[in-house]
Copies of this chain bind each other. A is one copy, B any other.
Amino acid sequence: MTLHHTDHRPRQLAVGPEGRGAHGALTTAPVVPAHGRRRGARSTEVRLDPASFWGRRQEVNAAATLPHCVEWMERLGWLENFDRVGRGEPTEDRPGWQFSDSEVYKLLEAVAWEQSRTGDPELEKLHGGLVARIAAAQDDDGYLGTAFGHPGLPPRYSDLSMGHELYNMGHLIQAAVARARLLGSQRAQEDQLVGVARAAADHICTEFGPEARQGICGHPEVEVALVELGRALGEPRYREQARLFLDRRGHGSLPVPALLAADYFQDDVPVRRAEVLRGHAVRALYLTAGAVDLAVDTEDEQLLEAVIGQWRRTVERRTYLTGGMGSRHQDEGFGEDFELPCDRAYCETCAGVASVMVSWRLYLSTGGVEHLDLIERTLFNVIATSAAEDGRAFFYANPLQLREEPDVQEAEGVHMRAEGGLRAPWFDVSCCPTNVARTLASLQNYVISVEEAGEAEEAGKAGAPTVSVLQYMAGEIRAELAVGHLGLRVEGDYPDQQLVRLTVTEAPPGPVRLRLRVPAWAVDARLSVTGADGIRRSRRAVRPGWAEVPTDLAPGDVLHLDLGTAPRLTWPDPRIDAVRGTVAVERGPLVLCLESTDLPEGVALEDVRIDLDQPLRAHRDGASVRLLVRPAGKPAPGRPPFGHAPPAADGEPETFEGALIPYHRWAERGPSTMRIFLPVG
């Protein structure tokens, strides 16, 4: 790991600020709605401390993960697939799945966000080299794809259900959106990647337009991409094409592969009529992201309401404590309501990425703080869990319990399975590494939101712009407001310690409304304000939601937000059969787990219970709890594993003080078994 950036103030980009969105400033950020009072942070506004929890991960992402992905895609021939199509060679023996092109595009998107973050000129070279190879594979009519429509391959669009052609071009377009926002709209006009994506988008509009082929792609993605490209290039046709795709979906037009059903690709019920997310989790979430973007830009309240309802039920009934989504391995899909098994939890890393995409869009459009809570939960317990410390291995699935130690040999080379318990360098289906990369590279964009004066939510405060601090990531904030800059230095070893210190480094002349998010779990939070003179001006309890800060802040003022550091028990809804009779332990935004590595010699994880009569204690960054060892008394008489009397344990249980660690750190010390929900005494 190389920490080569010591100056971590937000940096002015070398590239010009020509790209101005609805809010009139450079919009280097994912998700820039055409309408709405609220915008997320621009890359120029936030810079994370490279020694902080997330800043460190960004540095590792840049230094290790990006080259790691390039290496693997080169090694496996996924990049050469473009070269071969470009040269017109037959490619019926092409390596990789039909969606391998998308990994290159997601990497390009990560590169763009990374460039917006650091301006590293090396990245421009990497970008240019990749784009040249991609561009060479593009057909004259804009079609781009290495798995169909070329010598030796099936014809274009011959398998809309599973072919992923529009999915791939969707990720190409998302990479170009990031590029366009990096360059600004003027320079984007001449950019090669943007041109390639525009040609692909035009091809899609021609091929799938209102009077053309009435098809949709089995894997949603092109919808969200087209809306965002329309935003970035000011081209309403693309948004209109996204609307067509969305409205065509849910009518059972896609042929269903064996052993699946139409809900696998959300072709069972139209988006506007669905009541909950179902089927393949990543598909459902990408589709939802596109639906929100479309609803916002077209001011389609009915569509937005429908999605919000689906989202609420999904979060309240089909989402794990970790924020993970997807209860089934079979179709990488959501389960039914309250079907949340720990051992067979799928919780694909990419579903976590997609969930953040949806939550972020919903926050921007509704302002609901619950979406920020879920983003935080998902970042700390899914995204942070997936990537190894060195940024060169990843979890694909993120189960909440592992019963048997995995075979470490499986983690070498390309991993065929996504069973969880092993971080592997690459996968046969390797969607997760590049998805983690593009998320980490754009994390700064999720740290604050801004509402300009006259756009603030509450009428009484419409006169002042509002800056909301959404996530506590140590670093520098410099919110670009019409009235000037609001600067904040964020410090503190969050989440290991839950005291966040925010120092005002710059303030505009007029009043600014500053709000700090108080997470749902922070029921004992306190906020104090100390002047530059060191004199405390106020101290008070704050409730989950928003903590308002005095509007007359001046440079040197310090805010201390104490979110509470105590580990806490978390109880599941009794309808979740899989965790009946258990509790989890959390600390701040971190879900904790018990890993077999931390058990005394000879104690099996399956025999351990938590003693609720003893208090939880903070223990480094986790918690210490009293554990009971109750070797399974067998129910008897009867044939194991069932019997006709309740199992009785022999004598008093052994007890010991057990250390729970953050879930995101499990499996770092070799093969182990693990569980989050602990049986009660």
A647 to B576, CA, bound (A): 12
Q: B635 and A572: CB pair below 8 A?
A: yes
Stretch at the interface among A56-64, A234-242, A341-349: A341-349
A316 to B642, CA, bound (A): 9
A306 to B371, CA, bound (A): 55
Chain B CB within 8 A of A214 CB: no
Q: A344 and B342: CB pair below 8 A?
A: no
Q: B645 and A571: CB pair below 8 A?
A: yes
- Interface majority SS (helix, strand, loop, mixed), chain A: loop
Interface residues of A in 336-369 (CB under 8 A from B): 336-339, 341-344
Chain B CB within 8 A of A643 CB: yes
Q: Closest residue of chain B to A576, judged by CB?
A: B641
Chain B CB within 8 A of A45 CB: no
Stretch at the interface among A122-130, A479-487, A578-586: A578-586
Q: Which residues of B contact A329 (CB under 8 A)?
A: 328-330
Chain B CB within 8 A of A516 CB: no
Chain B CB within 8 A of A259 CB: yes
Given A315-B639, A316-B640, do A573 and B258 touch, yes or no (CB 8 Å)?
Answer: no
Q: A639 and B574: CB pair below 8 A?
A: no
A172 to B644, CA, bound (A): 43
Determine how close the nearest CB of chain B comes to the CB of A282; give it in whole angstroms: 15
Q: B342 and A606: CB pair below 8 A?
A: no
Chain B CB within 8 A of A670 CB: no
> Which of A571, A576, A632, A679 neighbours the largest number of chain B CB atoms within 10 Å of its CB?
A571
Q: A416 and B635: CB pair below 8 A?
A: no
Q: B642 and A321: CB pair below 8 A?
A: yes
Interface residues of A in 618-654 (CB under 8 A from B): 630, 632-635, 637-647
Chain B CB within 8 A of A417 CB: yes
Q: Which residues of B contact A580 (CB under 8 A)?
A: 580-582, 679
A232 to B339, CA, bound (A): 49
Q: Copy number in this complex?
A: 2
Q: Closest residue of chain B to A316, judged by CB?
A: B640
Q: Which residues of B contact A416 (CB under 8 A)?
A: 256, 258-261
Q: Closest residue of chain B to A428, judged by CB?
A: B258
Q: A577 and B575: CB pair below 8 A?
A: no
Determine how close the nearest CB of chain B comes to the CB of A366; give it in whole angstroms: 16
Bitwise, A161-200 to B at CB < 8 A (1) or not (0) is 0000000000000000000000000000000000000000
A633 to B259, CA, bound (A): 37
Chain B CB within 8 A of A570 CB: yes
Q: Out of B330, B570, B642, which one reaches A571, CB within 8 Å?
A: B642
Determine how close the nearest CB of chain B comes to the CB of A352; give it in whole angstroms: 17
Chain B CB within 8 A of A228 CB: no
> Which of A344, A523, A633, A679 neighbours the largest number of chain B CB atoms within 10 Å of its CB?
A344
Q: Closest residue of chain B to A317, judged by CB?
A: B641
Determine how close the nearest CB of chain B comes to the CB of A271; give it in whole angstroms: 20
Determine how close the nearest CB of chain B comes to the CB of A136; give it in whole angstroms: 29
Determine how close the nearest CB of chain B comes to the CB of A480; give it in whole angstroms: 32
CB-based closest 4 A-B pairs? A573-B641, A581-B581, A571-B635, A329-B330
Which residues of A are in contact with B by a Cβ distance under 8 Å? 97, 256, 258-261, 315-317, 321, 328-330, 335-339, 341-344, 370, 373-374, 401, 403-404, 416-418, 428-429, 520-521, 523, 568-578, 580-582, 584, 606, 630, 632-635, 637-647, 679
Q: Closest residue of chain B to A377, judged by CB?
A: B639
Q: Out of B342, B417, B570, B640, which one reaches A644, CB within 8 Å?
A: B570
Q: B338 and A341: CB pair below 8 A?
A: no
Given A258-B416, A580-B582, A638-B520, do A573 and B644 touch, yes or no (CB 8 Å)?
Answer: no
16 contacts between A and B (CB under 8 A): A258-B416, A316-B641, A329-B330, A335-B343, A338-B606, A370-B639, A374-B639, A520-B637, A523-B637, A570-B638, A570-B644, A571-B647, A573-B632, A573-B647, A575-B632, A580-B679
Given A261-B416, A328-B344, A417-B261, do A641 and B338 touch, yes or no (CB 8 Å)?
Answer: yes
Q: Closest residue of chain B to A419, judged by CB?
A: B261
Determine how close the nearest CB of chain B comes to the CB of A519; give it in whole angstroms: 10
Q: Closest residue of chain B to A261, judged by CB?
A: B417
Q: Which residues of B contact A647 (CB under 8 A)?
A: 571, 573-574
> Which of A330, A416, A639 neighbours the largest number of chain B CB atoms within 10 Å of its CB?
A639
Determine how close the nearest CB of chain B comes to the CB of A140; give it in whole angstroms: 33
Q: A373 and B256: CB pair below 8 A?
A: no
Q: A344 and B343: CB pair below 8 A?
A: no
Given A370-B639, A639-B520, A647-B573, do A578 and B258 touch, yes or no (CB 8 Å)?
Answer: no
Q: Which residues of B contact A646 (CB under 8 A)?
A: 571
Q: Which residues of B contact A576 (CB under 8 A)?
A: 641
Q: A573 and B639: CB pair below 8 A?
A: no
Given A416-B261, A417-B259, do A571 and B644 touch, yes or no (CB 8 Å)?
Answer: yes
A431 to B326, CA, bound (A): 29
